[in-house]
Amino acid sequence: MLKPFFHFINSLDSELSITIPVLRDLAALGSQIGKSDGIIKRRLERRYFSLCRLQNELSRLNLKKAATDNAPTSLEDYVFSQIDFSRYREIPRDYFGFFLPEGITDFSEAFFVKNFRLGKNEVQALIEKSYQKVQDIYKIKQESPLILSIMRTLETSLEDLPLFTAEETENELNKLSRLYSRDSSCLSFWERPKGEFYTMLVSAMDNVVITHNDSMKTKLFISAGGDLMGTFRPGDKPWTRKLIAVKSD
């Protein structure tokens, strides 16, 4: 049912389509017209590399050694002691996007308040103030436990927002409605019950395969309950994550 809509989105000129980044990327993925390099692909890339970081850290843990050593005194202490915080002292420009400007948008306002007692804008301002760009490297100007904790959390937390939201897609559809007639068969989704268009977009991601920058592939699929899932392979180890939970009324 979405084929005409995806065809319509894919036919828009680049100047217009850039104003609807989520729908543009979903249309490219759902119609499988070619490789996607848009906002949804970048979100999946960040989720994949979060799992890569976690998988890498897990592979380096020696739990037998932790059990026999006198210190740290607990498994939690041992795991924390193995974290490489030095990686946040200098961050390549291409990787800094993991944090700003897009990476921070992967998380809700409540997430930042819960973890840091700071709002999202305050966290963003702190990161911007703490780093200085020197050629192709972002260098930390002054280390603190707070800024290191923020960078670590943004890089590895699995408490992110849905891959794309109903609000995002509805806002972009409304942009199109101001330019094109609602009588168009390609834009007939306003007449559907609230949320149905979003559910259709989620379902259209079934069996979509994403190829990451390191050539590993992630397969998206719809669960029996209608949720969008993704099977990632960090270190060629399968990790399956829920990317969008579709709640029924």
Q: Tally the C-alpha atoms within 13 A of residue 97's C-alpha that lie toward its C-beta.
A: 11
DSSP structural state of residue 162: P
pLDDT at 79: 59
Q: How do residues 185-226 score in pLDDT, each as one tens digit?
A: 566 655 666 678 899 999 999 999 999 989 999 999 999 999
3-state helix, strand, coil in the chain (%, to 5): 55, 10, 35
pLDDT at 7: 87
DSSP structural state of residue 38: S
pLDDT at 24: 92
Look at residues 230, 206, 227 and name the one whose alpha carbon lies nearest to residue 47: 230
pLDDT at 2: 84
What the block records as the tokens of 62 is 């020696």
Q: How do residues 96-114 score in pLDDT, each as one tens digit?
A: 988 999 999 999 999 999 9
For residue 78, the one-letter residue type is Y
Q: Are strands 217-222 and 209-211 parallel, antiparallel or unpaired?
A: antiparallel
What the block records as the tokens of 73 is 């005194």
Q: Is 153 exposed, middle or buried (0-12, 13-18, 19+ CB in 10 A)?
A: middle
Which residue ranges in the chain fall short of pLDDT 70?
33-36, 62-82, 181-194, 247-249
Quote the pTM value.
Answer: 0.87
Tokens 């961050």 appear where?
91
Does a cis peptide bond (omega within 30 degrees of 0) precede residue 72? Answer: yes
pLDDT at 27: 92
pLDDT at 249: 41
pLDDT at 188: 63
pLDDT at 146: 95
For residue 38, the one-letter residue type is G
